[in-house]
Structure 1
């Protein structure tokens, strides 16, 4: 039987001209997903990919079953208190989606008693349990389901939740009367993610997006009225700014934040003044100052202040206590600031919030995300004089590489909840009472079977970049792996938007480690692992550092006796998919396989068109190639689609979704077509796998996600030479 042949893709010339340069794009016609010919082509690509990878199906099935067998399918989240109820979700064996529940909370005990979650057993109802939303029932007739916001009222009378039914991140807002247990007829269409009820539950605060899917308006919907009459609280016309809103930790104010990756503008609006708020109000720091910051209101001895985490002359940020601004005179306002946590070159301050007793600061030191606590009494002293705060951390964490990240804190609660994760340690949920230094483990993610964290190891190594910069690497593998013999490596990276690839435990990853694969995360420039400068050295006209760092990581690994240099595979998603594409163009001979997930591989075409979703927002990350010929030439020199070479490339799988609004399906579709047209014919045929009912995260539902992971891993393992029988 002859080998399957890929679909034939017609080439239609479309010329793009900027700054005296013209580029002929032969596959831009694939952008029109309303064209039946495009859909037919994408369907044919799926069929071809299924046929060419049919031999990997047994391995996919095996990995899927391994994930399933290690996962406690009937489980529940740790209950989270809001008002006088505990809210939690149940997962049920055989069901794709969670069931959202609640039970009444105790209110007449000590702090420890009142804030101790109820004992809820998986699969076992508890007294007075109420099912608020069975996502499986709600999703039964939908092609796709993603729960966006889930916002119960403070008094427990109402629930607001939003649902994306296609994967395009356009949500429909719903309301549920918790007392009558009735879904209300009242809905709002095309809501952006992140809507929430105001503390008095009489109105909903939500965001809407423009045609380029940029959140640009904050609206207020009064319950029981038509959405046509919803008030616009704030309108952001600047196409480079992203608009959002949240409730302050003390629930006194609405925080409206317009910003990008370089600066912010925030308004603090007391809920009592929502009706009179107008856009001429004074921001905390005007955008003209080009300061990136966040704020949190705090009341100390009846006096109102703001905690401001800012980067003015403090690249890694500084935390200060300040009065409410009375004018936009920035220099005068700065003179009133009192330092709470001063700037340090080796610590990146990421934000601050409040509990009933303590200030809580999130910061990153030596790549590790940590939490720091200081009593509010010290903050009161600072308000009066120049008292220096003393911070402490919860004790008892012994992993070399871990993530300690805030889950919830509120100014009316004595407890701070956070998660602790490490590469080979299952996720733990802790409740910390900083006033008494009491740290309580509420849950550790169960891993079924013969799993033991002692069977695996994770540690830090450092590679050297072309310019001598040291690149941190996270290495993980079986503890009993013979490190005097060479082994296959899966190298993963991202390197954009100051996003850090922090240690997280993954049950699915065990299927790789148990097969002798060494998993390596390269913390390359463009991420945030080593502070703000680490990010700045991997963006705009420094972007190529991201890609050369990744290749330098490969060279370092290939020089180790425990690495089989012929079996190094790479994987990344979204901007990490751009990383994969650029890396393949730089050094295709170094890799045995590559998986690019929802890859941003046609970045220049996208960013040159501000009408495309989110394009204008990207100018602060990559530069503006429309206005700057230097940016245009620089981007054109690395963007994957335009730099494919006629040499042998390794086997490549581009995985995408038809309804992705962040990275359009057309980018990987064009990239795969251009790869086939350009690369040496001795290369394996690049593959395109597209989820026809999915978004940026792929298909919906946990079993669907597990099968997607199994597909990616089986592709990698097959080209590493791992037996397909599993």
Structure 2
């Protein structure tokens, strides 16, 4: 249910940006869609009885008697979708080739320096994956290929390598591999001097790990094999035949846990975090067999995070500070009674995090919806802000593993600025562009226009919308517009550049991103006003953004489209029910649409982690409110917009049966002749394809759907 981040990144299409006045509409094939079998299942709770005709579709996940039938239904829907879109096959190939042609195939990341080595990844011409490499001491040194993921992934339809973790003596590499796309990684360990892959294979993990200073002890996060909850932190000794030691077990099933290491390398941290509260434990990295100490016992409705400096700990917390404040405490007195204020709470500024160095700290803040970096010299206390000249942008702290550095590496992007990596000297205040995503072809940022506008929500709240379109756009209501939204978990929907998106913009589309409540665009309260018993604000905000764009003639109902994935797919389902006549088409990707049933079933991965976000339906008030907006529960006999629904059979975040049940119920109830298609990727999960080009085929399908509805065929 978490946020999925789907990458959208090629000959530039030399079409005019003027809107089309005449179109040749795509002719949808006259083919009968699948009809799912009805097998009533009764749910009774809080004296409320509900009949679920498609509950049997869960059986592939539950290994029930209708397992094969569930998969057969998905295959039938795929065949129907394939037939319906058959007339766009050549166009999809054109779109794929066009988007792929904008990507520089032979490329290399900006090297990151750590402990005497420069680390980077590089990609080769035509390869779907990459090679993870390093050079000792100098970029002119001989290259060591640590992992050839291109070679490792051969023969696999899905292959994900993550959690790269080098031992302090630079001799060992721990890494995680997932070949199913359910985010269950096996950790392997490679000797970088001999090339040997050790027999140590640690199954069912998050993929990440932390080395102790002894170069032989590894801490990692173990998952429950059924619910996929992160429930234990374990300690592994290289070469040991003994079972790994559980150093921490989380008893509260609403919490996520993880293990990390301070940048200085001196401390290992265990974090337990729910939506509303957190707790840290810490350990001297040089004493891996000792017990972790509690930093500050968890407090109801209080979040905190810990950063280690040489002589103190820094704490970011929302205790009596809704937008968070910065505190500090001695290394040996960590309870909250010893915390001292460094930066006070501010009503108009959200404090998001701290990046530590030996001589500096960098504080990430958000004001008026935009991030900013506040740099503080630890010795003098002098502060300054990094200057960003664009009115709308997104920045983020990049890879900065060198504790002794005086340089902040950060990423920068906007709707028209390709992803860029900068090095900022915190002493001289000089920024240096290290690399900008190269867009092959004839892309010019000046050919596109961005805007930041505000829609007024039903309750008077101003909701930000960021837009981008090709120069020459006429605001006359005739342009097609794709509105993207998310609005959950406090995830901020920052603007970003997409080279793939140019294929929309160059064909006359406007692209818009709505900063709706449930995210954290305008501060912590923005999030709190879009969760639990206020969740409907997320949906009405998005609807009000759509109405505003129509009122201001950026588009019209006949040309307005909506897109969202995961919790953003819940958004799509809700707005389809609440305002079906506002949208000409909707793309719902891996949509979390069966909210009540999923939140009632604690055997489904991640359910218990989500109670603080959506509520626990075993509580009657939460159940009634959740049921009042859950898309699956609220499908009615009425007309719905054209819809493309996308899911993955192996999705561990939003299980395949949620969108498949939803589509089946929509088919049985909708009174219109609009298109409804379900596409299930039988090889992938929540994040889609693992290769760097394969995902473009999925993007080409989405775009072809929109273009078919607009009568655009080239």
Alpha-carbon distance in structure 1 between the residues aligned to 2:29 and 2:676? 18
Q: Which residue of 2 aligns with 1:651?
A: 642
Q: Which residue of 2 aligns with 1:498?
A: 490
Q: Which residue of 1 aligns with 2:307?
A: 296
1:136 shift after superposition: 1.4
Q: Does 1:285 align with 2:296?
A: yes
Which stretch of the first structure deviates more once superposed, 531-540 or 647-656?
Answer: 647-656
Alpha-carbon distance in structure 2 between the residues aligned to 1:324 and 1:155? 26
Whether contact under 8 Å (1:355, 1:415) holds in the other structure is no
What secondary structure, in the 3-state scheme, does the structure 1 residue paired with 2:87 have? helix
What secondary structure, in the 3-state scheme, does the structure 2 residue paired with 1:520 have? strand
Alpha-carbon distance in structure 1 between the residues aligned to 2:621 and 2:29? 49
Whether contact under 8 Å (1:96, 1:703) holds in the other structure is yes
Alpha-carbon distance in structure 2 between the residues aligned to 1:101 and 1:273? 30
Whether contact under 8 Å (1:285, 1:291) holds in the other structure is no
The C-alpha deviation readout for 1:135-192, integer Å capped at 9, x for no partner, is: 1110112231011211122332111111100101111111111111232332111112
Q: Which residue of 2 aligns with 1:43?
A: 75
The C-alpha deviation readout for 1:607-640, integer Å capped at 9, x for no partner, is: 11112111011110011111x2111100100000
The C-alpha deviation readout for 1:394-453, integer Å capped at 9, x for no partner, is: 23x322111111012342322221101111101110112212323221101101111011
User: Which residue among 702, 710, 714 is the counterpart of 1:720?
Assistant: 710
Whether contact under 8 Å (1:489, 1:563) holds in the other structure is yes
Q: Does 1:589 align with 2:600?
A: no
Alpha-carbon distance in structure 1 between the residues aligned to 2:145 and 2:286? 33
Whether contact under 8 Å (1:494, 1:524) holds in the other structure is yes
User: Where does the alignment leave 5 or more consecutive residues of structure 1 unmatched?
Assistant: 107-117, 119-125, 379-388
Q: Does 1:571 align with 2:563?
A: yes
Alpha-carbon distance in structure 1 between the residues aligned to 2:91 and 2:157? 27
Root-mean-square deviation (Å): 1.6
User: Which residue among 51, 73, 93 is the counterpart of 1:24?
Assistant: 51
User: Which residue among 420, 425, 439 is the counterpart of 1:428?
Assistant: 420
Whether contact under 8 Å (2:35, 2:667) holds in the other structure is no
Q: Which residue of 1 aligns with 2:238?
A: 223
Change (3 A) 1:650 1:290: closer
Q: Which residue of 2 aligns with 1:687?
A: 677
What secondary structure, in the 3-state scheme, does the structure 2 residue paired with 1:506 have? coil
Alpha-carbon distance in structure 2 between the residues aligned to 1:305 and 1:256? 18
Structure 1 residue ranges, 4+ long, deviating more than 3 angstroms after superposition: 324-328
What secondary structure, in the 3-state scheme, does the structure 2 residue paired with 1:524 have? coil
1:685 shift after superposition: 4.1
Change (3 A) 1:312 1:83: same
Q: Which residue of 1 aligns with 2:248?
A: 234
Q: Which residue of 1 aligns with 2:607?
A: 615
Alpha-carbon distance in structure 1 between the residues aligned to 2:284 and 2:564? 42
Q: Which residue of 2 aligns with 1:439?
A: 431
What secondary structure, in the 3-state scheme, does the structure 2 residue paired with 1:186 have? strand
The C-alpha deviation readout for 1:666-694, integer Å capped at 9, x for no partner, is: 000000000001111x2324211011111
Q: Which residue of 1 aligns with 2:357?
A: 355
The C-alpha deviation readout for 1:90-121, integer Å capped at 9, x for no partner, is: 11121111111111124xxxxxxxxxxx3xxx
Whether contact under 8 Å (2:157, 2:683) holds in the other structure is yes
What secondary structure, in the 3-state scheme, does the structure 1 residue paired with 2:543 have? helix
What secondary structure, in the 3-state scheme, does the structure 2 residue paired with 1:313 have? coil
Alpha-carbon distance in structure 1 between the residues aligned to 2:556 and 2:517? 25
Which stretch of the first structure deviates more once superposed, 520-529 or 175-184?
Answer: 175-184
Q: Which residue of 2 aligns with 1:71?
A: 103
Task: Normalising by structure 1, report the TM-score.
Answer: 0.91
Alpha-carbon distance in structure 2 between the residues aligned to 1:89 and 1:308? 33
Whether contact under 8 Å (1:484, 1:562) holds in the other structure is yes
User: Which residue among 109, 112, 122 is the counterpart of 1:80?
Assistant: 112
Whether contact under 8 Å (1:218, 1:244) holds in the other structure is yes
Whether contact under 8 Å (1:45, 1:688) holds in the other structure is yes
Change (3 A) 1:196 1:275: closer
The C-alpha deviation readout for 1:362-394, integer Å capped at 9, x for no partner, is: 12111112221100114xxxxxxxxxx543122
Change (3 A) 1:155 1:459: farther
Alpha-carbon distance in structure 1 between the residues aligned to 2:217 and 2:673? 59
1:528 shift after superposition: 0.6
Task: Normalising by structure 2, report the TM-score.
Answer: 0.93
Q: Does 1:93 align with 2:125?
A: yes
1:564 shift after superposition: 2.9
Q: Which residue of 2 aligns with 1:115?
A: none
Whether contact under 8 Å (2:309, 2:357) holds in the other structure is no
Q: Does 1:514 align with 2:506?
A: yes
Q: Which residue of 2 aligns with 1:191?
A: 205
User: Which residue among 388, 402, 407 is the counterpart of 1:415?
Assistant: 407
Which stretch of the first structure deviates more once superposed, 655-664 or 85-94?
Answer: 85-94
1:62 shift after superposition: 1.8
Alpha-carbon distance in structure 2 between the residues aligned to 1:21 and 1:348? 41
Which stretch of the first structure deviates more once superposed, 337-346 or 313-322?
Answer: 337-346
Whether contact under 8 Å (2:328, 2:341) holds in the other structure is yes
Kindly report which structure 2 residues correspond to 1:118-517, keeping only aligned pairs within 5 A, or say none.
Answer: 118=139, 127-210=141-224, 211-226=226-241, 228-278=242-292, 281=293, 283-299=294-310, 304-324=311-331, 326=333, 330=336, 333=337, 336-378=338-380, 389-395=381-387, 397-409=388-400, 410-484=402-476, 486-517=478-509
Alpha-carbon distance in structure 2 between the residues aligned to 1:12 and 1:711? 32
Change (3 A) 1:10 1:484: closer
Alpha-carbon distance in structure 1 between the residues aligned to 2:298 and 2:478? 53
The C-alpha deviation readout for 1:7-59, integer Å capped at 9, x for no partner, is: 23111111111111111111111111142222122112111110111112222
Whether contact under 8 Å (2:573, 2:593) holds in the other structure is yes
Change (3 A) 1:414 1:326: closer
Alpha-carbon distance in structure 1 between the residues aligned to 2:375 and 2:68? 58
The C-alpha deviation readout for 1:200-248, integer Å capped at 9, x for no partner, is: 422222101123111011111112223x521111110111111111101
Alpha-carbon distance in structure 2 between the residues aligned to 1:369 and 1:694? 34
Which stretch of the first structure deviates more once superposed, 634-643 or 248-257?
Answer: 248-257
Whether contact under 8 Å (1:284, 1:325) holds in the other structure is no
Change (3 A) 1:562 1:191: closer
Count of residue pairs brought into register by the alignment:
680
RCO (CA 8 Å, sep 6+): is it higher in 1 or 2?
2
Change (3 A) 1:594 1:289: closer
What secondary structure, in the 3-state scheme, does the structure 2 residue paired with 1:32 have? helix
Whether contact under 8 Å (1:457, 1:477) holds in the other structure is yes
1:131 shift after superposition: 1.1
